[in-house]
Amino acid sequence: MRRSSELDSAPGWHTTADAEVAPGGLRALCSPTALTGGLTELAWLGAHVLMYPLGARMEQLRPDPGKRAGEQPPVARALFAVDPLAARTPVLLVHGLVDNRSVFAVMRRSLRRRGFAAVCSWNYSPLLADVARGAADLGEHIERICEQTGHDRVHVVGHSLGGLIARYHVQRQGGDRRIDTLVTLGTPHRGSLLARIGPTPLIRQLRPGSPVLAELEEPAPGCRTRITALYSDLDQMVLPTRSGRCDHPDLRARNVLFRGVGHMSLPMHRGVLDEVAATLAGVREPGTRSTPVAAVA
């Protein structure tokens, strides 16, 4: 049984912004959850700065042929009990703005440890100036993965801008044909107020109401990709908090709010790692409620 104070840091599944109870004011910023999350964010940011140079090279997909169902640890067998074949579906990790695959160092290792046999990251150009161009490049990379692995579908996990690029590919370029599940982490689905001070064409596309975001509000009938948006009330880059939600009448979208997790901490947070693994394994499905569980940093 959890203490009532622990509920404030729990992720919860909900379908409407009305269910979001975001703390506000100076008191919220000084809460134990916010202070702990802020310190954790600083620690992860420092570690990421050190790892950043190691992620500059493009990663090659190397499926692990040794991970067969009978050879998986008990935790992996339990994770894939509903759909054992989910462990074989390739997982592609897509980083955010001014970043590279090093941000997924912890998540990549975690997914492989949990039984996912084919996990790799994709670095798009640091000079990218257009979401649509990035989405088209992502589609080409996914085609190469499908050709290499023999799979018709892949899973994609996108952090920040990476999630928006993947969503654009799904909705506007027919990417739902290849992307089975899309999980976004701290993605500005409705833009971010911080983008108003950005000088580059790409950052201007992240402003609320931009033409790119308006395109994503257009109808998307028959979209086959399942989407889960993980977002946080302590995300310093996605403002306001509700901008991290994916709300569209034609999408099979599920939104999960985490308390006290910073923007750069999302791909490394234990609770987020658990949620991503369960979603990709098919344990979490749109339209099914889940009881909030305390998030562990």
Rounded to the nearest 5 degrees, what angle is found at the Cα of 65, between the Cα atoms of 63 and 71?
A: 125
Segment among 6-10, 60-64, 106-110, 228-232 with least mean pLDDT: 6-10
Name the pLDDT band for 75 (thresholds 50, 70, 90).
low
Task: Give the CATH H-level superfamily of domain 4-280.
Answer: Alpha/Beta hydrolase fold, catalytic domain (3.40.50.1820)
Q: Which two tokens stand for residue 219?
A: 């109808």
pTM for the whole structure: 0.83
Residue 292 has pLDDT above 70, yes or no: no
**For the chain, first and last CA: distance in Å?**
19
Question: Is the pLDDT score of 168 beyond 90?
Answer: yes
**CA 202 to each of CA 95, 128, 261: distance values in angstroms, whole numbers, following the listed order:** 15, 7, 25
Neighbour count for residue 255 (Cβ, 10 Å) = 25
pLDDT, one tens digit per residue, over 240-287 is: 999 999 999 999 899 999 999 999 999 999 999 999 999 999 987 654
| Tens-digit pLDDT profile for residues 17-59 | 444 544 444 455 566 666 666 666 666 566 666 565 666 666 6
pLDDT digits (tens, 9 = 90+) for 78-99: 888 878 888 999 999 999 998 9
Mean pLDDT in residue range 227-239: 96
